[in-house]
Amino acid sequence: MSTVPHTAPEAAPVPARRNPIGQSIRDSLVITQRNLIRMTRIPEMVLFGVIQPVMFVVLFTYVFGGSLKIGNTTDADVYKNFLMAGIFAQTVTFATAGSSAGIADDMHKGLVDRFRSLPMTRGAVLTGRTLADLVQTAITLLVLAVVALIVGWRPGSAEPTDAGKILAGFGLLLLLGYAFTWIGALIGLSVRTPEAATSGGIIWLFPVTFISNAFVDSGQMTPWLRHIADWNPFSATVQACRQLFGDPGLSQSGAWPMQHPVWASLIYSVLIVAVFRTLAVRTYRSATA
């Protein structure tokens, strides 16, 4: 009688360890794609997002143009070129309200709980959402730039500029918008309903955008208010865009952000992303723990 030699069973292959950074990027892109597909299925989201800033361009251009003093003139064409950087910056920051409401809605409907059951990194849900909002903001900004050209905005009206500088200005605007969406994400995670997120996501933006150099020359403000406006991160980006667009109305303030607006805009935006992304991811983890 022959005996069958005993062989030890082969050990199960050990799954390869995934690169956590690469995994986070892939998961974030999947969530981004999900939100972009949702955007195409609800086109009114993009439509309404475009209509509001277009209305601001038309109203500010034809209602306030010629009545506000920029430098030593009240010329309407000068105000148009002064105004557009402020309108562009306001548009990208007001996208924060959409981020707040969208994240709060996902939390309210239990969609985030379904994401939790998947083998994905926690921060990817928020990163994917903010990246999708950035794409929508870029589309809105493109349409708004076309409308601005139609109503008379002319880059390089006061100082020579080129296409590279103009694109750099729009890059700073998108970076500011992306930074502010993380503030919106934190607000959306901190409230109980989408309605509260919509209100909370927009109410704080009014003092940020109006106590600035976006619509009026900050040099005409009272000293204490001018100091706040000059150190406002929003003002730094507006000032940087005017410099890069070659538009008039550059501030004569001695405040560092007004003297070095491009660097100030970059520093402010990166700090906002670093701080509020950390807070938002931490809040998300505690909310879904």
Q: Which is more confidently placed, 16 or 26? A: 26
Smallest CA-to-CA distance from 280 within 195, 171, 216, 197 is with 197
Q: How many CB atoms lie within 10 A of CB 271?
A: 12
User: Most distant CA pair in the chain: distance in Å?
Assistant: 112
pLDDT tens for 110-163 read 766 677 666 777 778 888 889 988 998 999 999 999 988 988 888 887 778 888
Q: Which of 16-25, 199-208, 269-278 has the lowest mean pLDDT?
A: 16-25
Angle between helices 123-151 and 163-190 (to 10 degrees): 130
Q: How many angstroms separate the first and last alpha carbons of the chain?
A: 62
Q: Rounded to 5 degrees, what angle do the CA atoms 202, 221, 145 make? A: 50
φ, ψ for residue 73, nearest 5 deg: -140, 155
pLDDT band at 16 (very low <50, low <70, confident <90, very high): very low
What pTM, to 2 d.p., does this model score?
Answer: 0.85
Mean pLDDT of 89-116: 79
Mean pLDDT of 201-225: 87
pLDDT tens for 48-76 read 778 888 888 888 777 776 666 676 666 77
Smallest CA-to-CA distance from 214 within 107, 104, 86, 52 is with 86
Flag whether pLDDT at 271 surpasses 90: yes
Flag whether pLDDT at 171 surpasses 90: yes
Give the span between the Cα atoms of 96 and 98, in whole angstroms. 5
φ, ψ for residue 13, nearest 5 deg: -65, 135
Q: Which residues contact 205 (CB under 8 A, 6 or more apart)?
A: 93, 94, 96, 97
Structure confidence at residue 247 (pLDDT): 79
